[in-house]
Amino acid sequence: MVWVVVLIKDFAHAKQRLRPALTPPQRRRLAERNARLALTAAAAGDHVLAVCAGEDGAALAREAGVEWMLEERPEGQNPAARRGIGRALAGGADAVLLLSSDLPLIAPEAVGELLDAARVMGSPAVLAAPATGRGGTNALYLAPPQVVDLHFGDDSLGKFERDAAGRGVPFALHERDVLALDLDEPSDLEELARTEADRPAT
């Protein structure tokens, strides 16, 4: 059983590095929009758990009909992911997919494709979806859930790879545009606008 754990930051303090380009209400709406997309996409797994740093994220999770946890004292992505993994293990998860809520192009098909690739790897395994250009990790599949430590932050991709290698655990990259683009800098907004402009009309 694969649990998809969506890590949802507090909307009120989200996207601070986008302050040069967006007003506080705009940043909040963007964070909420992306969290909705992530919760919808996560349904490609067997069970969805949202770990929420704020009440607004928890409200979205309730609206989506998924299990959720509200952090009493949010301490960042790694502690949030640990809480999610702990709950997934208690619920009988064989593997977890840790998924950022900052991905504006995410869709259920993208998560399903990643999970298909992960299943081919078997267990133990680590499969990581890189962020564009910063050495970050936007999605991380772990089988079993505690197969490596958590290293979200600077150079997380390299840290996950080195941790897996040190334990003899197979590690692979899952490189897809829809998983690579997150919204941390004003230039990311420009990239999103270009991507959406290039999409065929439906």
Highest mean pLDDT among 12-16, 72-76, 106-110: 106-110
Mean pLDDT of the chain: 89
Mean pLDDT of 34-58: 96
Cβ atoms < 10 Å from Cβ of 120:
10
Choice among 5-9, 59-63, 115-119, 195-199 with the minimum mean pLDDT = 195-199
Identify the sign of the CA torsion 142, 146, 150, 152. Answer: positive
pLDDT confidence of residue 186: 47
CATH architecture under which domain 2-198 falls: Alpha-Beta Complex (3.90)
**What is the arithmetic mean of pLDDT over 39-62?**
96
How are strands ordered across the β-sheet holding 67-70? 67-70, 47-52, 2-8, 95-100, 137-143, 125-130, 171-173
- Rounded CA separation 51/80 (Å): 6
pLDDT in tens, 132-168: 877 899 999 999 999 999 999 989 999 999 999 999 9
Q: Is the peptide bond before 124 cis (omega within 30 degrees of 0)?
A: yes
Q: Is the pLDDT of residue 12 over 90?
A: no
